[in-house]
């Protein structure tokens, strides 16, 4: 007899406890070999004054079991509360967010009967690092960070997932026509890693047209991997067009820790009425069972659930006159699934899970990856908070700090070049970026030159709010060029 696997469970808020009870009843009835450790997270904890929404003692259980099945929680209105999801994701480095979005046509209404897409979203980087600044009275900044190791981990995970789940294609969504450095790196790493998986088709779309195609013809997509923000938005779109956000589960995967959940929230208006659909959390639990090495139980649960949908036993959110046979509550839905354990669906495609996807080499560097070896300082962008006149007036004033081998080459305002030879039509804010380089722009400069430049800038009365060094890596510019140059 295999040993039970300890897992940490949180019942959450709103509909959370009802759907968690239903989910645990089903997986236990199917023979899940688990020992449950319960922890409290969410609203009650927030309202006790713990801004992270999780009791410090709960971390011990998570650190011990390394598997977390979490019902949705309510984040109280008002400032000061930190997202529990983000806290857990960052604490345990859960770099992959995996959301299968499947249509169950004709039993659940959808415009896309053949949809079966898995969104693999990078979970730790991008604009979600939460690094933000107010720089001037009118301008805020959010920093978008994309790293090579972060991209390698998530992209390799997507290909490994595709391989072990019999998927044929991995698609990458980026916006590297605009974000040439950050999304450009994600795209480059995708191409490098794709080359190691010749058995799996690969393609890349610019995210705007890619998103439009995903919403229009999702049946043309299989596994789609993307940076954090695009993945956050498009995984909700994908789940919704598959049928309902109430039907999709998600996994947050790290090396050695994983959290499983429904993708929807705590639906407070439906709480306590035995109405909610437990399917999203149940699908999260199925992914958990595969993860903890119980694919046999996962298969039983998933097939019994498909059979229940097929038999027209539906909760209110998917109930449709003419398609559904019986409108049931959360509890009755769970009982119907339990009654079908051991059965297969007859029309929907039955599933058959194998051992957990390999979680071995997600950190391995792409074989063809060559890191640059030579890093050379070639200038600095000095950002100014300034509202005393036109770009030409600023240009004339800033040129006076030229010297010691550095000279002002250009001034940009929110990305537009406004000096020299700016257009009178360009709207300017109080946020200016002044680019200084050696007289011969390709020549290296020293940190000492930059320090003395900054002193001259401050001495001239300018409010320098930030500097960003310009580097060449192996002779190639590691910064965005002046637009139009
Ligand atoms: P929601 O997902 O809770 O609800 C959106 C809509 O979907 C509602 O009409 C709701 O009734 C319906 N719905 C959701 N799940 C359902 C289910 N299982 N069965 C039937 N109907 C269902 O989103 P919201 O209303 O924007 O957020 C409510 C609360 O949930 C907020 O406090 C939010 O912060 C929180 N939230 C938590 C998580 C999480 O814990 N992972 C995720 C999203 C939102």
Which CATH code is given to the segment(s) 111-228?
3.40.50
The answer to whether 268 and 13 have CB atoms below 8 angstroms apart is yes
Ligand 1: which atom is nearest the Cα of residue 76? 32
CATH architecture of 1-103+243-353: 3-Layer(aba) Sandwich (3.40)
Whether ligand 1 lies within 6 angstroms of the CB of 16 is answered as no
Whether ligand 1 lies within 6 angstroms of the CB of 30 is answered as no
Residue segments in the chain with a per-residue pLDDT below the cut of 70:
1, 356-364
pTM of the model: 0.92
In the 8-state DSSP scheme, what is residue 127? Answer: G
Q: How many CB atoms lie within 10 A of CB 428?
A: 18
Outline where DSSP puts E strands in 400-456.
406-413, 416-419, 431-438
Nearest residue to 432 via CA among 373, 379, 375, 387: 387
Q: What is the pLDDT of residue 197?
A: 97
Of all protein residues, the one whose alpha carbon is nearest to atom 5 of ligand 1 is 267
The answer to whether 241 and 111 have CB atoms below 8 angstroms apart is yes
CA of 281 to the centre of ligand 1 (A): 12
CA of 75 to the centre of ligand 1 (A): 11
Q: Please give the torsion angle defined by the CA atoms of residues 58, 59, 65 and 68, in that order, rounded to the nearest 10 degrees.
A: 70
How many helices (H) and strands (E) the chain has is answered by 13, 20
Nearest residue to 342 via CA among 330, 354, 350: 350
Q: What is the pLDDT of residue 372?
A: 92
CA of 60 to the centre of ligand 1 (A): 28
Q: Describe the strand order of the beta sheet including 201-206 as a list of residue ranges.
A: 34-39, 5-10, 67-70, 258-262, 249-253, 96-102, 116-122, 223-226, 169-174, 201-206
Q: What is the pLDDT of residue 130?
A: 80
CA of 438 to the centre of ligand 1 (A): 55
Whether ligand 1 lies within 6 angstroms of the CB of 72 is answered as yes
Q: What is the pLDDT of residue 243?
A: 85
CA of 266 to the centre of ligand 1 (A): 4
Residue ranges per domain, the chain?
Answer: 1-103+243-353, 111-228, 373-477
Residue 249 C-beta-side C-alpha neighbours within 13 Å: 24
Q: How many CB atoms lie within 10 A of CB 462?
A: 20
The third-level CATH classification (topology) of the domain covering 373-477 is Alpha-Beta Plaits (3.30.70)
Q: What is the pLDDT of residue 354?
A: 84
């Amino acid at each position: 007899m295999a040993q039970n696997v300890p897992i940490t469970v949180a019942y959450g808020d709103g509909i959370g406890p009802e759907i968690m009870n239903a989910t645990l009843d089903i997986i236990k009835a199917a023979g899940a070999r688990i020992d449950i450790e319960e922890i409290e997270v969410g609203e009650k904890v927030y309202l006790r004054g713990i801004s992270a929404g999780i009791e410090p003692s709960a971390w011990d259980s998570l650190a011990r079991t390394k598997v977390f099945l979490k019902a949705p929680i309510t984040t109280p209105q008002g400032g000061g509360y930190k997202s529990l999801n983000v806290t857990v994701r960052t604490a345990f480095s859960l770099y992959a967010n995996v959301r299968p979005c499947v249509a169950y046509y004709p039993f659940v209404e959808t415009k896309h009967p053949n949809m079966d897409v898995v969104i693999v979203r990078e979970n730790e980087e991008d604009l979600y690092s939460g690094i933000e600044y107010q720089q001037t009275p009118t301008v805020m900044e959010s920093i978008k960070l994309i790293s090579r190791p972060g991209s390698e981990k998530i992209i390799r995970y997507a290909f490994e997932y595709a391989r072990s789940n019999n998927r044929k294609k991995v698609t990458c969504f980026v916006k590297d026509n605009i974000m040439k450095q950050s999304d450009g790196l994600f795209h480059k790493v995708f191409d490098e890693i794709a080359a190691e998986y010749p058995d799996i088709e690969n393609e890349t779309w610019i995210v705007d047209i890619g998103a439009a195609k995903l919403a229009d013809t999702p049946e043309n997509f299989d596994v789609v991997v993307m940076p954090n923000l695009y993945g956050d938005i498009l995984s909700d779109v994908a789940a919704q067009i598959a049928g309902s956000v109430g039907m999709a589960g998600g996994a947050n995967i790290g090396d050695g820790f994983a959290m499983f959940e429904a993708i929807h929230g705590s639906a407070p208006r439906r709480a306590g009425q035995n109405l909610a659909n437990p399917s999203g959390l149940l699908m999260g639990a199925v992914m958990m069972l595969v993860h903890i090495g119980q694919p046999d139980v996962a298969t039983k649960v998933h097939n019994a659930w498909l059979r229940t949908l097929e038999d027209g036993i539906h909760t209110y959110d998917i109930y449709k006159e003419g398609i559904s046979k019986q409108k049931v509550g959360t509890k009755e839905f769970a009982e119907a699934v339990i009654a079908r354990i051991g059965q297969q669906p007859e029309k929907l495609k039955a599933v058959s899970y194998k051992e957990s996807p390999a979680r071995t080499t997600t950190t391995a560097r792409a074989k063809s990856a060559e890191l640059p070896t030579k890093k050379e300082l070639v200038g600095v962008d000095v950002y100014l908070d300034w509202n005393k006149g036109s770009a030409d007036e600023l240009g004339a004033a800033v040129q006076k700090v030229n010297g010691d081998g550095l000279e002002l080459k250009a001034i940009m305002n929110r990305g537009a070049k406004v000096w020299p030879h700016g257009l009178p039509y360009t709207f300017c804010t109080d946020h200016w970026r002044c680019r200084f380089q050696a007289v011969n722009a390709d020549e290296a400069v020293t940190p000492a030159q930059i320090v003395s430049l900054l002193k001259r800038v401050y001495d001239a009365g300018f409010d320098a709010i930030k500097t960003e060094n310009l580097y060449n890596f192996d002779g190639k510019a590691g910064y965005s060029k002046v637009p139009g140059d």
